[in-house]
């Protein structure tokens, strides 16, 4: 795999920059702060994306390389795989996913695996090299080689790590030590004290002891619950009965009130009836009075008959006087007087009686007329009262029917709501005025049961506190059991990890490390011009090197330049095993501690032994350029 062209629109301090690279050695020259490290990061980030996380740094790469005061944050890179297929990547660093084009400029971005967190994994799919491996092998960053003498041990440890585990940041021994420490601190063992697993187990034993004592309260609660439910049922029944009775009582009281209103109306109605009777009686009296007047008139006629009889009597006397006078006295005057007596009487009687009868008749007629007027007036009053009476009687009947209907409906509602209440029985109690006594008796029973219920509740509260403690303890116990399971799983996981690491380390040590150390030995021999011929990993001393005298010395005792040579040699020895692709080698100020002889050796080595790999060397000096020209080695020079 080779990088052919780099185009930077805006990235860090680089703007509108185009760089063309060739297949073998490329020298990218620039003074300090000219953007060499920025360009190297650009290459890595265009392949893998740029992180917005700080990852322990003061500022994330995204913020670090974001162009100041510019919206555009993008670029493009053209590369070719070993099979000759060419691809272009265009990435806007504000977005997660780039656009990937094939040689026909078709967008094939969707053809690659996509990870939600990191986006399109096109470069990993093509090369099988992830970002960590790329950074550990393909790239050699400037800060990794610019070490002073006191930091040699760090680089030596990286060498040992790389040879022993395949990652310069991973030390098998340190990993095992950390795992053991982690296992002890975060889990513990049966022999440890005060560790998480010990604390959990001790607490679980303590809880088990307390739970045994609290089990009796559970039995008491079950018994009290039974009594409580019975009392609650009884209380509910009594409350329903009392409620039913009160509703019946209220309903009857309302009915009585309504009937009382009807009775009042009946009273008014009956008073009208009495008034009608009184008026009829008075009318009858007046009628009787008319009859009496008629009778008096008749009696007067009878009195005329009386005068007639008197007249006859007088006539008889006159006859007797006439006879007596004629025969005995023989007085003519007397006879004359006697003859005039009857006519005078008759005239008197006629005149007097006629006048008197007329007066009496007029008086009777007048009185009868007055009586008839009174009777007519009474008839009108009676008619009005009878109409009002009938109307009120109809209204009262309607109201009574309405009250009875409402009563029946309300009674049915009560029967439906309080079906356990014997409604008819309590209606009888109401009629006998015993309802209050019945309610009082039921209320006394209710109060007694409520008192018993309250007593149980108080006792239950005491039990509940104990049971709450038991529930909390059980919950704590269950949580502890989960924690214990997690700790045991973690313990098992750590044991498995250690076992896997051990197997992997043994496999690495027996199979891979010898190959690495052999390649490293060959490389360092060539690079050092035979000064160092053999490199090995010793468990006690770490990385050791055989010098030209056959003596094995610890790598840490070597010069910084030699250690740099070892570190680069180890990276180069791994480059062919990274991927099926021949990955490029990118070196940023990697030769800072090399003298001219060492630099000449490494450049010759890169040209002769890594001819299938593209080399990209970032430098701030002309040493590499001068030596390559001296060795007559073809190279591509790019000036930033």
DSSP per residue, 123-164: HHHHH---HHHIIIIIEE-GGGT---GGGHHHHHHHHHHHHH
Q: How much is the pLDDT for 631?
A: 93
Q: Convert the pLDDT of each residue in 458-477 to its tens digit.
A: 766 766 676 677 778 788 88
**In the structure encoding, which two tokens stand for residue 529, read together?**
């011009």
Q: How much is the pLDDT for 14?
A: 94
Q: Please state the pTM of the whole predicted model.
A: 0.49
Q: How much is the pLDDT for 22?
A: 94
Q: How much is the pLDDT for 148?
A: 41
d(C-alpha 589, C-alpha 6), whole Å: 20
Place of tokens 């393909």: 138
Q: How much is the pLDDT for 408?
A: 80
Of the candidates 465, 417, 460, the one whose C-alpha atom is nearest the C-alpha of residue 231 is: 460
| 408 CB-near residues (< 8 Å, 6+ apart) | none
- CA distance readout (Å), 229 to 11, 147, 215, 421, 453: 78, 83, 22, 21, 9
3-state helix vs strand vs coil in the chain, percent to 5: 70, 10, 20
Q: How much is the pLDDT for 367?
A: 78
Mean pLDDT split into 10-residue runs, the chain, 640 residues: 96 94 94 90 94 84 91 95 95 94 94 88 91 80 46 46 52 71 80 82 82 67 71 78 75 80 84 84 81 63 56 67 62 60 63 69 78 83 84 86 83 70 62 68 81 74 69 83 86 81 66 66 74 72 74 74 71 73 90 84 85 91 94 93
| 26 CB-near residues (< 8 Å, 6+ apart) | 614, 615, 616, 617, 635, 636, 637, 638
Q: Which CATH number is 1-129+579-640's, of 3.30.1490.190, 3.40.50.300, 1.10.1240.10, 3.30.70.1900?
A: 3.40.50.300
Q: How much is the pLDDT for 515?
A: 65
d(C-alpha 39, C-alpha 640), whole Å: 10
Sign of the C-alpha dihedral computed for residues 420, 425, 426 and 427 taken in this order: positive
Residue 164 and residue 509 in contact, taking contact as beta carbons nearer than 8 Å: yes
Q: Convert the pLDDT of each residue in 91-111 to its tens digit.
A: 999 998 999 999 999 999 999
Q: How much is the pLDDT for 370?
A: 84
d(C-alpha 364, C-alpha 325), whole Å: 47
Domain ranges of the chain: 1-129+579-640, 198-426
| 523 CB-near residues (< 8 Å, 6+ apart) | 569, 570, 572, 573, 605, 609
């Amino acid at each position: 795999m080779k990088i052919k062209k780099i185009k930077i629109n805006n990235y860090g301090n680089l703007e509108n920059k185009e760089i063309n690279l060739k297949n073998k050695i490329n020298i990218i020259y620039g003074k300090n702060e000219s953007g060499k490290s920025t360009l190297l990061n650009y290459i890595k980030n265009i392949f893998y994306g740029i992180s917005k996380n700080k990852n322990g740094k003061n500022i994330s790469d995204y913020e670090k390389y974001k162009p100041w005061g510019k919206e555009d944050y993008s670029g493009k890179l053209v590369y070719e795989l070993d099979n000759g297929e060419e691809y272009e990547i265009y990435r806007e660093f504000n977005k997660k996913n780039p656009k990937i084009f094939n040689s026909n400029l078709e967008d094939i971005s969707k053809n690659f695996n996509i990870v939600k967190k990191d986006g399109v994994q096109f470069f990993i799919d093509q090369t099988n090299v992830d970002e960590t491996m790329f950074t550990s092998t393909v790239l050699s960053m400037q800060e990794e080689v610019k070490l002073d003498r006191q930091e040699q041990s760090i680089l030596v440890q990286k060498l040992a790590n790389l040879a022993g585990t395949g990652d310069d940041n991973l030390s098998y021994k340190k990993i095992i030590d950390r795992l053991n420490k982690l296992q002890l601190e975060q889990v513990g063992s049966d022999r440890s004290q005060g560790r998480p697993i010990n604390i959990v187990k001790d607490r679980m034993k303590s809880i088990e002891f307390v739970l045994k004592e609290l089990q009796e309260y559970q039995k008491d609660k079950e018994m009290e619950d039974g009594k409580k439910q019975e009392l609650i049922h009884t209380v509910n029944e009594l409350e329903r009965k009392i409620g039913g009775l009160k509703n019946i009582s209220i309903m009857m009281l309302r009915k009585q009130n309504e009937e009382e209103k009807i009775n009042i109306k009946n009273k008014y109605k009956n008073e009208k009836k009495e008034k009608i009777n009184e008026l009829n009686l008075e009318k009858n009296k007046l009628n009787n009075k008319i009859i009496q007047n008629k009778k008096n008139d008749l009696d007067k006629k009878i009195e005329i008959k009386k005068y007639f009889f008197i007249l006859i009597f007088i006539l008889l006397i006159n006859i007797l006087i006439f006879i007596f006078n004629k025969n005995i006295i023989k007085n003519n005057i007397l006879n004359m007087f006697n003859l005039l007596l009857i006519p005078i009487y008759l005239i008197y009687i006629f005149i007097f009686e006629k006048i008197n009868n007329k007066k009496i008749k007029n008086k009777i007629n007048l009185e009868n007329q007055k009586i008839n007027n009174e009777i007519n007036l009474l008839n009108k009053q009676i008619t009005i009262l009878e109409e009002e009476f009938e109307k009120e009687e109809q209204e009262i009947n309607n109201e009574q029917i309405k009250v009875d209907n409402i009563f029946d409906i309300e009674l049915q509602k009560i029967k439906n709501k309080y079906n356990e209440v014997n409604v008819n029985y309590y209606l009888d109690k109401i009629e006998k005025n015993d309802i209050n006594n019945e309610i009082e008796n039921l209320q006394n029973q209710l109060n007694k049961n409520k008192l018993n219920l309250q007593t149980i509740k108080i006792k239950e509260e005491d039990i509940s506190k104990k049971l709450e403690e038991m529930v909390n303890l059980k919950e704590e116990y269950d949580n502890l059991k989960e924690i214990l399971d997690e700790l045991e799983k973690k313990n098992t996981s750590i044991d498995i990890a250690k076992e896997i690491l051990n197997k992997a380390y043994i496999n690495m040590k027996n199979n891979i490390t010898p190959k690495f150390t052999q390649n490293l030995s060959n490389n360092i021999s060539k690079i050092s011009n035979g000064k160092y011929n053999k490199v090995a990993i010793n468990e006690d001393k770490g990385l050791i090197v055989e010098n030209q005298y056959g003596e094995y010395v610890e790598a840490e005792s070597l010069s910084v330049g030699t250690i740099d040579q070892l570190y680069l040699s180890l990276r180069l020895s791994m480059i062919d095993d990274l991927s099926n692709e021949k990955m490029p080698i990118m070196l940023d100020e990697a030769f800072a501690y090399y003298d001219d002889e060492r630099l000449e050796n490494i450049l010759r080595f890169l040209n002769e032994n890594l001819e299938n790999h593209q080399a990209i060397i970032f430098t701030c000096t002309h040493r590499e350029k001068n030596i390559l020209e001296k060795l007559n080695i073809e190279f591509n020079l790019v000036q930033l």
